[in-house]
Amino acid sequence: MPLPDGSHGYSRAEVLQRCAQGACLVLRGRRLYDLTAFVRLHPGGEQLLLQRAGTDIRAALDGPPHRHSDNARRWLEQYYLGELRDAPAEDAPRTI
């Protein structure tokens, strides 16, 4: 379902279903990214990303153990998929 800005909106159920099928989808706030193709290239190892599939990665990007660079954040944008339609409240746990 397209959102007002023309991007595609995804429900939590859609995200969880795709993760259950093996995709590595992560959130940064409401923004959804498909890191499936990047998992094997991640400098910190595949397991770190796979453990975060279906979750909000804002805390992981800001550290600890380290804060990701501006370049890493720009790199993330190439995997942008769309927006989460039913976004969690700001104070809710950072899982989908």
CATH number, domain at 46? Answer: 3.10.120.10
Task: Give the DSSP letter of residue 56.
Answer: B
User: Residue 1 domain-assigned?
Assistant: no
Distances, alpha carbon 14 to alpha carbons 25, 48, 82, in Å: 10, 22, 12
| pTM given for the model | 0.80
- Name the average pLDDT for the chain: 84
Based on the structure, what is the number of domains in the chain?
Answer: 1
Neighbours of 83 (CB within 10 A): 19
Give the per-residue pLDDT at 5: 54
Q: Which 3 state secondary structure label does DSSP give 10? A: strand
> What average pLDDT does range 6-31 have in this prediction?
91
Residue appearing with tokens 């809710």 = 92
Tokens at 72, concatenated? 């890493």
Answer yes or no: is pLDDT of 48 > 60.
yes
User: Residue 90 domain-assigned?
Assistant: no
User: Residue 13 domain-assigned?
Assistant: yes
CA distance 10 to 51: 21
User: Residue 78 domain-assigned?
Assistant: yes
- Structural domain range at position 29: 9-84
